[in-house]
Amino acid sequence: MSTAVERKTKNYLTGLKEAMYEEMESNPDLICMGEDIGLLGGAFGVTDGMQAKYGAERVIDMPISESAIVGAACGMALNGKTVMAEMQFIDFISCGFDQIVNMVATYCYRTAGEVPIPMVIRGPAGGYGGGALYHSQMNEAWFCNSPGLKVVCPSTPSDAKGLLKAALRDPNPVVFYEIKELYRKRSIEEELLDGDDALIPLGKARVGREGTDLTLVSYGNPYHLSLSAAKKLEEFGFSAEVIDLRTLVPLDEETITESLSRTNRLLVVNEAPMTCGFAGEVLARLSQAAFEHLDAPPARVTRTDTPVPWATPLESDVLPSVDDIVEAALKLCRY
């Protein structure tokens, strides 16, 4: 008779789920709200079982109106609650854009720092899964450009858990990007810590791979593409260091600068469009902060400036690939 072997490693989605369950348990003022997050447990199952355990007054099914979700969440936060507001897909966060950038982001400033807004707006983002133009966006630059918001994008299960726990404890509003292509990806599973041991501070990047010839900076799914590219670069005799930003705002320039002091070359990879994308912000910041370390023009690999197509060959053509990263990296290393 065979017995099932319990898996010690857990996926990205489980990391998010554990973070919310632990924070719901430790913070009785935490409220979760969003479309279908209660009875359905969320479109991807991140909030599965939460309403049954904590009740419909703490896990609230909302109408299909992102502006109403964000507005109600803001009101609850002003009245002493900590709020997690889920966007069913991050693409539709644009429907709540006014509430986020003109109300939520500015409240602390408008009250001279006296009124915090402890809320997290989270949702699935990114391409590579055939979601087409309405379910594949990375629009993080919109909110990086809005003072008053913190912006987070984890790449691993442990970071998904630790960063979400930190975001739910932060008195400032956080926009939290989850990469749906990573939700159940087996190859990135990890053992997860519990409680406060799992916490990861916002604003601190992580060196995922050490190297000497080039610094690759990324986050989300392209972080894993960058790791794969770094392995391929070894075949050409080059050693790439790979940095996972984890938090975009505030940006950890110090970790990148320290890396560039050794590698002297910078390549930034993300899956948002190139024009006015966050990769360009990283290049601008580090070109100024670490110019004396650079031996080649800093470069970026991004999505092309088009919507994400549905057909797999077309989607693959517009989104960054391992080969795209290797090609750009070789140009820098041979400059």
pLDDT number for residue 6 = 58
The domain defined by 12-198 carries CATH number 1.20.140.10: no
Q: State pLDDT tens for residues 194-216.
A: 999 999 999 999 999 999 999 99
Q: pLDDT band at 2, cuts 50/70/90?
A: very low
Q: State pLDDT tens for residues 162-179.
A: 999 999 999 999 999 999
Which residue ranges does the chain devote to CATH 3.40.50.920?
A: 206-333
**Whether the predicted pLDDT of 311 surpasses 90:** yes
Contact 124, 178 (CB under 8 A): yes
Neighbours of 109 (CB within 10 A): 11
- The mean pLDDT of the chain is 96
pLDDT number for residue 266 = 98
**Whether the predicted pLDDT of 321 surpasses 50:** yes
Q: State pLDDT tens for residues 212-234.
A: 999 999 999 999 999 999 999 99
Among candidate residues 10, 17, 58, 135, the one labeled active-site is: 135
**Could you please report the per-residue DSSP string of 4-60?**
PPPP--B-HHHHHHHHHHHHHHH-TTEEEEETT-SSS--TTSTTTTHHHHH-TTTEE
135: annotated active-site residue: yes
CA dist 7 → 120, 192, 311 (Å):
30, 12, 35
For domain 206-333, the CATH architecture is 3-Layer(aba) Sandwich (3.40)
Which residue ranges does the chain devote to CATH 3.40.50.970?
A: 12-198
Q: State pLDDT tens for residues 95-112.
A: 999 999 999 999 999 999
Cα radius of gyration rounded to whole Å, the chain: 20
Q: How many angstroms separate the most distant Cα atoms in the chain?
A: 67
237 token code pair: 């005799």
Question: What span, in angstroms and rounded, lies between the C-alpha atoms of 183 and 167?
Answer: 19
Q: pLDDT band at 3, cuts 50/70/90?
A: very low
